[in-house]
Amino acid sequence: MTIATISRAIKMKKPAILKEGGVPRYVVLDWDTYRKWEDAKEDIEDIARLNSALSDPKNQKRIRFSAIK
């Protein structure tokens, strides 16, 4: 893999897959795609934390906010 290949992949407006010996080795993302991927990753982490909090036994006895009036 040469520097020219990497620089060409970085300048592209869409993700590029760099191969070594015919095998996919690296993925180069443009900034917009990277940002979307990072946001999706954060959302998945938030969902995992929420699920663990909801399945925690000490949180099972809590009352829903809408039930309090």
Distance between CA atoms of 58 and 35, rounded to whole angstroms? Answer: 36
**What pLDDT score was predicted for residue 1?**
59
Chain-centroid distance of CA 62 in Å reads 31
Q: Where are the domains of the chain?
A: 3-63
pLDDT by residue, tens only, the chain of 69 residues: 578 877 887 787 788 888 888 888 888 887 888 889 899 999 999 999 988 888 877 777 766 767 766
Question: Distance of CA 65 to CAs 33, 44, 45, 68, 69, Å?
Answer: 38, 24, 24, 6, 9
Q: Model pTM?
A: 0.53
